[in-house]
Amino acid sequence: MKNLLKISGFLPFMIIMFINASVDLAHKITIQNVLVKSFSGDTLIALTALVNMLILLPYIFLFSTSGFLNDKFSRTKITRACALLGVGLCALITLGYICGWFYFAFFMTILLAAQSAIYSPAKYGLIKKIVGAKNLGAANGAVQALTIIAILLSSLVFSVIFESFAKQGAGAGELLRSVWFIGLLLVAGSMVEAYFAYKIPYFDAAEPEAKFEFAKFAKFEYLRQNLKFVTSDKNILLCTLGLSMFWAVSQLVIATFPAHFKAISGNDNVMIIQVILALSAIGIALGAVFAGSYCKKHIELGIVPFGAFGLGLALMILANANSAFTLSLASLFFGFSGGIFIVPLNANIQFFTRDERMGRVLAGSNFIQNIFMVLFLIIAP
């Protein structure tokens, strides 16, 4: 990790990844906590699944556009533009909090997700540019670990704030209004993120001569072409399918867990729910660090089957647990196994992808992963 931090631009890049993950999750967690306090049973599962779907759908519908933009333009410029856009979106979300417009804030999630759909390939496409091919395994481990730590801290901190200041017994709008200052924290975080976006090195566009033709877009030719970049390479396709299954199962767990916990415990304390879910984030961080150190000199795919076995075992325990302690252990083990599973797969995709195709391949991989996640969320209720 010390060697990575010596690389020019890697530290501000990591700060961007940390803040972006924190801000995105803070809004989602706040909306989800309102749902936990306001609904239960199948209704809670359905609405929680809907929130997660709103986050995923832009990755599907903006797939071709995202891949084109991240190859046509400098990924540094894309990162800076998306960071600035995030400030504006967080300001609108804050307005919804202050006014108690729950459904406005609820559906603002899709606009924040649309920004992320363009942003994500740019950020992950910069890793190889900044650290070089030989450091990809270690860099992906560090990025994954930091991202998960950001998710962990954000879920815990904002759940504690929510549980401490939310107006008990109030409706969804009143609950949101009682924690309006969370919006100000989102704006402040997005402004810091935008500042550091201008601290990362500038890299030229991979394919500046590319032209966007609307007729091809309307006929889904870009979709077929971009998917071909993923499906034509067996290594990339298999890694993408592995990642897709992991994130799809994770979405299903996240969507159903609050209702499952309320059913077995009769408790709607969002801090307890988020702590148990956050333990999976700790597990992923630990697993990612372990995988990153194991892949320090080369990408080691041999640890992937061990991660898959651990995931299956953890899911069995989660399904049959009847105490918060057992659920916590299962959540931690699920995350650790996931970290071991996903780091080599992400690094492998980046290693085998030519730079001029990086944006479209990453967007294509995201597209397939999000199709899987949406399908699993549809079956959640």
Mean pLDDT, residues 268-280 taken together: 80
Question: Which residues are within 8 A (CB) of 214 and not within 5 positions of it... i.e. 6 or more apart?
Answer: none
What number is the average pLDDT over the span 138-152?
79
**Domain assignment of residue 166, yes or no:** yes
Read off the pLDDT of residues 32-45 as tens digits, 9 standing for 90 and up: 888 888 877 778 88
346, part of any domain: yes
First to last CA, the chain: 42
Tell me, what's the pLDDT at 193? Answer: 94
Residue type, 135: N
Token pair 């609108």 in the structure block, residue: 92
**In the prediction, which pLDDT does 295 show?**
61
Q: Please report which helix (H) or strand (E) contains residue 169, including its range.
A: none
**pLDDT confidence tier of residue 296, bands split at 50, 70 and 90:** low
> How many CB atoms sit inside 10 A of residue 7's CB?
15
In a domain? residue 290: yes
Is 206 a domain residue?
Answer: no
Domains in the chain: how many in total?
A: 1
Full domain range(s) for residue 159: 10-200+216-378
Which pTM value belongs to this model? 0.73
2 has pLDDT over 70: no
Please indicate, yes or no, if residue 210 is contained in any of the structural domains. no
Q: Residue 1's pLDDT is what?
A: 57
Q: CB neighbours of 280 closer than 8 A, spacing ≥ 6?
A: 250, 253, 331, 332, 334, 335, 338
Quote the pLDDT of residue 9. 83
Residue 4 counted as domain residue: no
State the pLDDT confidence band at 359, using cuts at 50, 70 and 90: low
Q: Is residue 137 part of a domain?
A: yes
- Mean pLDDT value across residues 194-202: 91
The answer on pLDDT for 159 being more than 90 is no
Is 5 part of any domain?
no
Domain with 190 in it: what CATH number?
Answer: 1.20.1250.20
Whole-number average pLDDT of the chain: 83
> Is the pLDDT assigned to residue 268 strictly greater than 80?
no
Q: Which residue has the higher pLDDT, 223 or 178?
A: 178
- Give pLDDT tens digits for 57-112: 887 888 778 777 877 888 899 999 999 999 999 999 999 999 999 889 988 989 99
